[in-house]
């Protein structure tokens, strides 16, 4: 067993400096588990006029007929598409992208959430590799563990996908036939198609490249430009009727704020369903207003957003300090887990069952990417 490093999650950092996120590329992942680099074919467009709420849209409709293509993916959490995007970007620039950490937005959100949630609700089971002066982080836990939970959690999981299906179009409104609009409530849900933006961002002195799944364009897309300001995050939740409901929703919108703030998505749209899964109301929130909403409504979350930013900076500093990055030619693997209020980073040695597949195989970094980086260094 190699060296172990621990970070107590209740520690508070001092870093609050953030770099403005910038979109550098994108890709689409299809229900056939193909990666289309630089392709936005799976990008969807928001369209849900208030008048449609009068139709009592049922968010549980079609649950038994849904196609869960993502469940058939051999490796749902693979970095392959993200690495291909980075490689394509570097081929155009003919130099390595400036970054200390390359990973997905959801992984960073998990690590930040570790300071706010118990392990039962925030499973952290990650693999970190040091290669070519950078850290690459991959999740090995299921992305959608709520599928395996209670009937209530499975229902909530489905209604989220159904809300996205009802609220978005595959093309801007002027290009969509009326017949397609009218049939949206009957459109079957498929979890496989995704659109992922690739964003350059940073906290303190740490530079990050983050891949993030995007739910939709809110207004319009600018071809060949950074579209972060046009993206929106879609969420669905139960109605807020009591003080307890309000507190529960505040915890949810804090997590949603984390998702959006990390990659610069400015708009959050929540659909609220009743006990019969009928969509009742839709509300829009500006991402940068969420900290003020929490401060004004929940004393217990008065500084939650600022604390999250400080913890974000601290954990990134800890990772960079703990993991050597001077061996640019070889892959050095680590396990990163959350247990007993600590993030625990453990160096993997050759006796570990995963060692060979990570160091010599494609378990985290693809052979294509490793060869590309080696050729770039020549």
d(CA 354, CA 103): 19
Q: Is residue 233 situated within a structural domain?
A: no
Q: Are 51 and 181 in contact (CB under 8 A)?
A: no
Alpha-carbon span 17 to 203, nearest angstrom: 6
How much is the pLDDT for 165? 94
**Beta carbons of 254 and 294 less than 8 angstroms apart:** yes
Instruction: Output the six-digit token pair for 348.
Output: 């993997």
Is 291 contained in some domain?
A: no
Instruction: Confirm if 29 and 42 have CB atoms less than 8 A apart.
Output: yes
The domain total for the chain is 1
**Which residues constitute the domain of residue 26?**
4-219+305-377
User: Residue 218 and residue 214: Cα distance in Å, rounded?
Assistant: 11
Structure tokens at 200: 């350059």
134 domain residue, yes or no: yes
163: in domain: yes
Q: Which residues pair with 213 in a beta bridge?
A: 196
CB 332 within 8 A of CB 323: yes
| Residue 149 maps to a domain | yes
Tell me: the pLDDT tens digits for 315-368? Answer: 999 999 999 998 888 899 999 999 888 999 999 999 999 999 999 999 999 999
H or E element in which residue 202 lies? strand 194-203
354 in a domain, yes or no?
yes
Residue 366 lies in a domain: yes
Residue 137 corresponds to which tokens in the numbers above? 């982080």
Query: Is the pLDDT confidence value at 120 over 50?
Result: no
Predicted pLDDT at 340: 85
pLDDT of residue 149: 63
Model confidence over 160-205: pLDDT tens digits? 999 999 999 999 999 999 999 989 998 889 888 999 999 999 999 9
Report CA torsion sign: 203, 81, 172, 66: negative
Assigned domain for 236 exists = no
């Amino acid at each position: 067993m190699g060296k172990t490093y621990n970070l107590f999650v209740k520690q508070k950092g001092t870093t609050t400096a953030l770099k403005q996120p910038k979109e550098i590329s994108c890709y689409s992942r299809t229900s056939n588990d193909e990666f289309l680099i630089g392709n936005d074919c799976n990008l969807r467009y928001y369209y849900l006029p208030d008048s449609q709420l009068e139709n009592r849209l049922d968010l549980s409709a079609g649950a038994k007929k849904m196609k869960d293509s993502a469940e058939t993916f051999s490796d749902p959490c693979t970095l392959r598409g993200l690495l291909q995007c980075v490689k394509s970007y570097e081929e155009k620039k003919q130099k390595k992208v400036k970054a200390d950490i390359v990973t997905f937005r959801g992984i960073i959100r998990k690590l930040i959430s570790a300071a706010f949630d118990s392990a039962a609700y925030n499973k952290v089971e990650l693999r970190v590799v040091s290669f070519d002066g950078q850290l690459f982080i991959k999740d090995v836990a299921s992305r959608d563990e709520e599928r395996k939970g209670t009937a209530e959690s499975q229902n909530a999981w489905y209604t989220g996908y159904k809300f996205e299906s009802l609220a978005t179009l595959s093309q801007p409104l002027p290009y969509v036939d009326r017949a397609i609009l009218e049939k949206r409530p009957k459109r079957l849900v498929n979890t496989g198609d995704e659109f992922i933006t690739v964003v350059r961002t940073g906290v303190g002195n740490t530079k990050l490249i983050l891949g993030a799944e995007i739910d939709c364009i809110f207004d319009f897309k600018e071809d060949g430009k950074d579209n972060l300001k046009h993206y929106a995050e879609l969420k669905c939740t139960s109605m807020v009727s009591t003080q307890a409901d309000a507190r529960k929703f505040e915890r949810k919108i804090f997590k949603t704020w984390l998702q959006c703030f990390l990659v610069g998505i400015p708009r959050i749209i929540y659909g609220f369903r009743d006990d019969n899964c009928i969509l009742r109301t839709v509300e829009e929130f500006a991402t940068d207003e969420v900290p003020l909403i929490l401060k004004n409504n929940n004393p217990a979350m008065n500084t939650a957003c600022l604390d999250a930013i400080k913890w974000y900076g601290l954990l990134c500093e800890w990772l960079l300090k703990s993991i050597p990055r001077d061996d640019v030619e070889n892959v050095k693997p680590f396990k990163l887990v959350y247990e007993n209020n600590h993030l625990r980073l453990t160096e993997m040695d050759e006796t570990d069952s995963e060692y060979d597949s990570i160091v010599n195989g494609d378990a985290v970094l693809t052979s294509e990417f490793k060869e590309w980086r080696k050729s770039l260094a020549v």
